[in-house]
A = this chain, B = another copy of it.
Amino acid sequence: MSSIYNGNIKISIFGESHGTAIGAVLDGIPAGEKIDFEQVYLQMQRRAPGKSEITTERRESDRPKVVSGVINGYTTGTPICGVIENENIELKNYENLKDVVRPGHADYTAHVKYRGFNDINGGGHFSGRLTAALTFCGAICRQILEQKGITIGAHVYSIFDVFDDHFDMEISKKLLKRLSQEIFPVINPEAKEKMAKKILQTKSEGDSVGGVIECALDNVPPGLGAPIFDGIESKISALVFAIPAIKAIEFGAGFAVAKMFGSQSNDSFALREGEIFTRTNNHGGILGGISSGMPIVFRCAVKPTPSIAKPQDTVSIKSNHPVRISVSGRHDPCIVPRAVPVVEAVSAIAMLDFFKEANLL
């Protein structure tokens, strides 16, 4: 039912792709946190389209208007509402799609759920554009975490069959910092070149392509999270799947544990200067739903942009007849790079939630 996240911090997201505005209310942020809204804007720019030839040409300034909860750059402790006005809207592109459900989109499922009353222009409330609101919230949460020593960074791990390096066991803060500022972040610059080439080639064919994002949260103190329903995997995965196009997630060794023996997958505990750590990180920094102090590492799969120029078979829900469509308009051939800051953002939201639960805010 709900576009409300009701954790220890709370978020309410509103808006439609081609409506007046979208936005978010972020509730539960403590008073007195200094927030640099230029940094927030930077994160939103990383997600925004039109940043390079490999992304859609729709331009959004995406500069959020902070209408409450902040005075003189400090949080007041009451709800922070950010409103992002919709600009540069072309409704005409969707006119012909009014009764044709686009494959891979939520057009059909939303039509059924809302009995035809939903806003279909640009995907309405289901548009990837709504992730701008997530990014806004996450960018605020991230700054508070940074004050506490936590660094969050993600990279494009793969596009189709082109792979970046994996994170090392020990992730440098500097690397995460760099990744978290870039438009198309990869560990190995060569990978990026090949990925971009793959994307442009796909674009030229009127097609789109998917990929994998790998994210790390460094310096998370041990003891955060909870057993059963409120474990770290549960919260992060629930929030990551709030991002349209994500179809899979794995923590630590992930699916690879299925091909391991216990003697391989168990991470031995050891001591370094009196501190407990593990020699390997198959557990991805999480044991029993609770942080171990090792980096939290996860990967998630992003499906190819469903809007493609190539002709596709589908159905008219008005006439109940098969039709064939080509989705024109401004679409990314690959949304993986733009999804990176969103994955970082929801990770920051999840982590701040755990900090609040643990009385660390």
Contacts and interface: CB of A to CB of B under 8 A. Distances in A.
Interface of A: 1-6, 10-16, 19-23, 25, 27-28, 31-32, 65-69, 71, 74-81, 83, 101, 103-106, 108-110, 112-119, 124-126, 130, 158-161, 202, 207-212, 222-231, 233-235, 237-239, 241-242, 244, 246-271, 274, 276, 278-279, 282-284, 286-293, 301-308, 310, 312-315, 317, 320-322, 357, 359, 361
A247 B284 contact: yes
A31 B310 contact: no
Contacts of A15: 67-68, 79, 81
Q: Which of A32, A261, A305 has most chain B Cβ within 10 Å?
A: A261
Nearest to A261: B207
Given A4-B229, A238-B237, A248-B255, A210 B10 contact: no
Contacts of A315: 269-271, 276
Given A106-B288, A233-B247, A249-B250, 20 more contacts: A2-B228, A6-B10, A13-B79, A14-B67, A14-B78, A76-B118, A76-B125, A110-B290, A125-B227, A125-B228, A207-B261, A228-B242, A234-B237, A234-B242, A237-B241, A248-B251, A248-B255, A249-B249, A257-B302, A260-B303
A80 to B, nearest CB: 8
Contact of A14 (B68, B248, B254, B263): B68
Contacts of A274: 320
Q: Please give me the 6 A-B residue pairs with the lowest Cβ-Cβ distance, nearest first.
A: A106-B288, A248-B250, A12-B12, A208-B262, A262-B304, A109-B290
Contacts of A276: 101, 108, 315, 317
Nearest to A228: B3
